Amino acid sequence: MASFLMRSVDAELMEHPAITEHADWLALVRTAHQALFDLYQALGASAAAEK
């Protein structure tokens, strides 16, 4: 799910004209994308540790 949401943020928000015109909004989108990436990595590490 984290991967899906990360791709959605990337595809739907990162390049959206309204977002790219506002540096503060773009910073929020980048923060959200990074948080989802970090979650994805943490989930993967946790799954690997359980094996």
* DSSP assigned state of 50: T
C-alpha distances out from residue 4 to 18, 38, 51, Å: 22, 13, 24
The amino acid occupying position 22 is H
| Tokens 């503060």, residue located | 24
* DSSP assigned state of 18: H
In tens, the pLDDT along 11-37 reads 999 999 999 999 999 999 999 999 999
Work out the number of other CB atoms within 10 angstroms of the CB of residue 36.
20
Task: Answer yes or no: is pLDDT of 51 > 90.
Answer: no
Per-residue pLDDT band at 50 (split at 50, 70, 90): confident
Q: Are 4 and 43 in contact (CB under 8 A)?
A: no
pTM for this structure? 0.85
Residue ranges covered by each domain of the chain: 2-46
